Structure 1
Amino acid sequence: MIWQSLKYGISQVWGNKRLIAFYYLLNLLLAFFLILPLHNVLNDFAGRSLMGAKLAESFDMNLFFELIHEHGDVLSLWMGLVFIGAIVYWLSMLFLSGGILHLFIHEKSGTIASVLGNSARYFPRMIRLSLWSLPVLGILLSVQFIYSGIQRLIFGSDPYQSVLYWGAWIKVALRFIIFWVFVVIIDYARIHLVQNDERKTRKSLLAALRFVIKNPGKAFGLKALLIVSGIFALVIYNLLQIPLSNSAGAGLFVLFFIQQIYMIFRSFLRLATFSSQAELYQDAESQERIDNAEEILLAV
């Protein structure tokens, strides 16, 4: 079922090339507005001098501290801009998620205008769903404190340094797993909300919890497959861009081309995540209804 859902998701996204282009251009535009202020600061500081060439070759701590000394106020402003930009990016992706899911679940193919219209329709409910998800995140994060209690119970209040070292890494792994579980739950809550046009967002959240508990292998397996695909693409991108990072002329053009191909693939993969997860959820629900009907017939 995982492979079938993934194949269906990829084919559905491939049939909506305008959506891929729109999603890519939106991400490019948001990134541009974040990078442009920093580019101007670096250009004023380093310019096209030898210092600029040195900065471009590798990360230099001396140049970094000098940059902070010369433009500390501007960098502080830029960090604030990054924070605001992250919120704007999250809200933009949250806004589009409803329209994209509606396209993949109900329309199969459509126009950008219909995606934006449905995005506006679902956006208030997506905000409420995000707020309802905060208690779930809090409960999941409490798992790491259970580990801390177990560690204290076994090793006491003053454990060996090796215990503290490995314990810290275990906590990092736990936080990653918790975040992963949380993201998967929210993904399927959004799918339930759009598929059923649910008005009470807490019901969608509970439905997603039930789905993930009943189908952990399918839900997390599909997400893991998509994450691994993204990591694999990132590794290939880095292997290709490292030898070109210090190039000039045609080399820079090739590097720029590779970067855009990678960004387009990331956009394609994100849209495929929406489509394949929606297909998996619908297939699992259909199979559950069939199983329930068979049980009723056998009981009769």
Structure 2
Amino acid sequence: SDGAVGIFNEEVKHMPFFMLRKRDGTSLYATKDLALARLKFEEHKIDRSIYVVDSRQSDHFRHVFLTLAKMGFTQAARCEHVPYEMVELPTGAMAARSGNVILFRALREGMVGHVVSHYLEKYRGEWPDAEIEACAHQLALGAIKYGMLSRDVNQKIVFELEAWLELEGNTGPYLQYASARVGSILRKAEEAGQPIDRALLEQPARTHEVLATLVQPEERELVAVLDGLRPAAAQAAAGLRPSLLCTYLHELAKAANRFVNAKHCRVLQSEGDLRIARVWLMAATHDALRWGLARLGIVAPSRL
């Protein structure tokens, strides 16, 4: 109409017309999204495309996918919009007019400073300054990523700096701390001449004999939680819901800490097959925590 270009997608009942180019030739987000999709499909041979964008753009992407299908791209059926809610402060939404918008650089610097002053300053002189700064950076980014990914797609994300940085509760730093704590036990076991004997795992009968020594409730619970890693990861991937993996990792970290805190489950004070089994259990827990955090884009510090 008058030089403007658009398409009718009757499937979107309340807003069927989708503008692709304005009458003065100006391109729109729709124009760019269609061009990018075409580039993905034709030049990069992408078979599936996932758009992680604000939930307010749901109608826009429904139009994009319908239009791609009408353009003949069979991949349109495998395009998905994963919506997320906006990040808010405890006082409400951020807005430039209100002057309460938080810029990422200031946020990162504030969180790094908080981590150093509350958790890492006591290691000054014992740890290299570069390691303290790197660890603080890892905890700050871990807190931000986990704070957002642990909320389901239909939940509002309320940012609370101190709460997200807690070393207890359902936070990224809590999981990072659990991983570092388990890693510390493994290092001490190796220093004591009891490294992980992975070759023993290739002997089924002997492996069964060793693992049969794990009879304490905390040990059995941790084994059971570890067994849930594969289904939890598969469910999170299939549903495009990283929050499910976050929930699982939080349960794993809690089970690991209950085991470590139990006086009757001391790894380094145990002997014989029981010591071997507990070292294996810690190694499996460490691997699972680090693997899961890596899937979320979170680095697990080697010590904390």
Q: Which gives a bigger RCO, structure 1 or 2 (Cα 8 Å, sep 6+)? A: 1
TM-score range, shorter chain: under 0.3
Give the number of the structure whose alpha-carbon radius of gyration is greater.
Answer: 2
Identify the structure with the greater strand proportion: 2
TM-score, structure 1 normalization? 0.26
> Which structure: greater helix fraction?
1
